[in-house]
A and B are shown apart, each in its own frame.
Chain A
Amino acid sequence: MNNLIEFFKNNFHHFVAAVLLILCFVLIGHSMSYSRYKIARICQSITMPVEKSWGKMIRQFNLSKENEQLLQQNLELLRKQENMFLTREDTTLTQMSETDSVHTTRTRLYDYTYAHVTFATTDKPFNYIIIDKGSRDGIDRDMAVLSPTGIVGVVSDVSKNFSSIIPIPHLDTRISAVIPSINQVGAVVWDGKEADIAYLNDIPQHLEINIGDSVLTSGYSTIFPKGLMIGTVKEVSTEQNATFLTIKVKLSTDFKNLDLLYVVKNLYRSELDSLKSNFKNE
């Protein structure tokens, strides 16, 4: 014990020097951003590969939760898009304000919810998709169904817990579509052959259409909001004695690999439908 105390007494100055030096290095690390950055980078080059591969494995366990969160976030973003609203000038406010600015009010026209596919076919002439949400979740007939990459179809029948969807690959499909580059409205139909190819009808022959032009929903029906992706033009051809172009459209939705779907609700559909029912052809 005495030896130990003696040792400390004799070497006290070394301890002082060591403590002061450590203090200096702490100060250097704290005050000088370049050395701090450099130290951090050296540490990172060692720990990064380990953390990366390990983190990948850890993330696998949280994927479903993360997926759910992303889904909610996506829904929020989708609900904020411009084509979800009816924009209208607020005439009283515009007249009352002294500046020249035009005041508008926005009314929500469409709302989103999501569902997962329980069953789907792609190889029949009258294909269908079953999703895991029904009337209990507020799904109703004639609602639009979207996938993350494009539109899918329309809800046809609803039970308590499930709904069936008529997808674009279905012989009765007829969706109002527009090619924005020429601003011409046509109808997308399916010919019963390949699940990822549809045809765009009613585009006159004199119009120039490029391969790769995108085909969007027109918003003329009460079902689909305006400006949603349907697909891209794959092939344009003219047939003899025809007044319209034959346009092959590559659908942007992969119908063989569907899982997550968004269901779009038109909040004013009954109002719009009551107007339309006055005409005999509806």
Chain B
Amino acid sequence: MNSTLTNIIRCIIALLLQIFICNYIHLFGFLTPAIYLFALFLLPTDLPKSVQYLIAFAMGFVVDMFTHTLGVNAAASIILMFARPYISNLMNGRKTIEINDRPMPAHKDFRWMLGFTFLLTLIHQTAVVMLETFSFRHFGKTVLVIIGDTILTVIVILSIDYLFYSQTKRA
């Protein structure tokens, strides 16, 4: 119960941050961090997968409503949710499979955190930017936007993780 409430509050805070602050950031004119992803990364892995998908869709949808790109962020978030178990398996490598595969500095080392966040953000941003531009013309610029957005988002999300989830006691 406590964990559920924590997750709900985290999702709402992430959405508020995204809608009221990050959507107005346009670094170098075109880089906008997708901060709401940190709530998706931190969703409990033992949650039923269909519920995970629904949460991802709902969050993406709310963000889309405020950026007038209905469906883009929602679709990208669902793809992210689909890829999440595969990426965490990839990062675990040959190590024994752990139950808690969430990016928390208390349980994981920095390499795991960085790889997990970076790969998933890259997938998400690729989906978002490609769906938004919907064209392979100016492909160089599109790739530049994807990579720039990804790096910015990774920095922001890792900072949040290390600031608020370093202690063991928080779940």
A: residues with CB less than 8 A from B are: 12-13, 16-17, 20-21, 23-32, 34-35, 38
Given contacts A25-B71, A32-B69, 20 further A-B contacts (CB under 8 A): A12-B49, A12-B50, A13-B50, A13-B53, A16-B50, A17-B78, A17-B81, A20-B57, A21-B75, A23-B74, A24-B72, A25-B75, A27-B64, A27-B71, A27-B74, A28-B70, A28-B75, A31-B69, A31-B70, A32-B71
A28 touches B49 (CB 8 A): no
B71 touches A38 (CB 8 A): no
A13 touches B48 (CB 8 A): yes
B54 touches A20 (CB 8 A): yes
- Within the complex, which residue of A13, A17, A34 is in contact with B134, where a contact is CB–CB below 8 Å? A34
A24 touches B69 (CB 8 A): no
CB distance from B58 to the nearest CB of A (A): 10
Q: Chain B residues near A17 (CB, 8 Å)?
A: 49, 53, 78, 81-82
Q: Chain A residues near B60 (CB, 8 Å)?
A: 24
**Which residues of chain B from 129 to 143 have any CB-CB distance to chain A below 8 Å in the complex?**
131-132, 134-135
Residue of A nearest to B49 (CB): A13
Q: Chain B residues near A38 (CB, 8 Å)?
A: 134-135
B95-134 contact mask (Cβ, 8 Å, vs A): 1 or 0 = 0000000000000000000000000000000000001101
A24 touches B53 (CB 8 A): no
Contact of B170 with A by CB under 8 A = no
Q: How far is the CA of A27 from the CA of B135 in the complex (A)?
A: 18
Q: How far is the CA of A13 from the CA of B57 in the complex (A)?
A: 13
What does DSSP make chain A's interface, helix, strand, loop or mixed? helix
CB distance from B86 to the nearest CB of A (A): 13
Q: How many residues of B contact A (CB 8 A)?
A: 24
Residue of A nearest to B135 (CB): A38
Residue of A nearest to B69 (CB): A32
Q: How far is the CA of A34 from the CA of B74 in the complex (A)?
A: 18
- Contact sample, A vs B, 18 pairs, CB 8 Å cutoff: A13-B49, A13-B52, A17-B49, A17-B82, A20-B53, A21-B79, A23-B57, A23-B71, A24-B60, A24-B72, A25-B71, A26-B71, A27-B64, A27-B70, A28-B69, A28-B71, A28-B72, A30-B70
Contact of B68 with A by CB under 8 A = yes
Q: How far is the CA of A212 from the CA of B157 in the complex (A)?
A: 78
Q: Chain B residues near A12 (CB, 8 Å)?
A: 49-50
Residue of B nearest to A37 (CB): B134
Q: How far is the CA of A171 from the CA of B27 in the complex (A)?
A: 86
B54 touches A16 (CB 8 A): yes
B57 touches A24 (CB 8 A): yes
Q: How far is the CA of A24 from the CA of B68 in the complex (A)?
A: 13
A16 touches B53 (CB 8 A): yes
Residue of A nearest to B56 (CB): A20
Residue of B nearest to A19 (CB): B53
Q: Chain B residues near A29 (CB, 8 Å)?
A: 71
- Within the complex, which residue of A13, A16, A24, A31 is in contact with B75, where a contact is CB–CB below 8 Å? A24
Residue of A nearest to B82 (CB): A17
Q: How far is the CA of A34 from the CA of B69 in the complex (A)?
A: 11
Q: Chain A residues near B79 (CB, 8 Å)?
A: 21
A28 touches B131 (CB 8 A): yes
Q: How far is the CA of A30 from the CA of B82 in the complex (A)?
A: 24
Q: How far is the CA of A23 from the CA of B54 in the complex (A)?
A: 12
Q: Chain B residues near A28 (CB, 8 Å)?
A: 69-72, 75, 131
A24 touches B48 (CB 8 A): no
Highest count of chain B CB atoms <10 Å: which of A17, A23, A25, A27: A17
**Which residues of chain B from 11 to 63 have any CB-CB distance to chain A below 8 Å in the complex?**
48-50, 52-54, 57, 60
Residue of A nearest to B60 (CB): A24
Q: How far is the CA of A38 from the CA of B132 in the complex (A)?
A: 12
Q: How far is the CA of A30 from the CA of B74 in the complex (A)?
A: 14
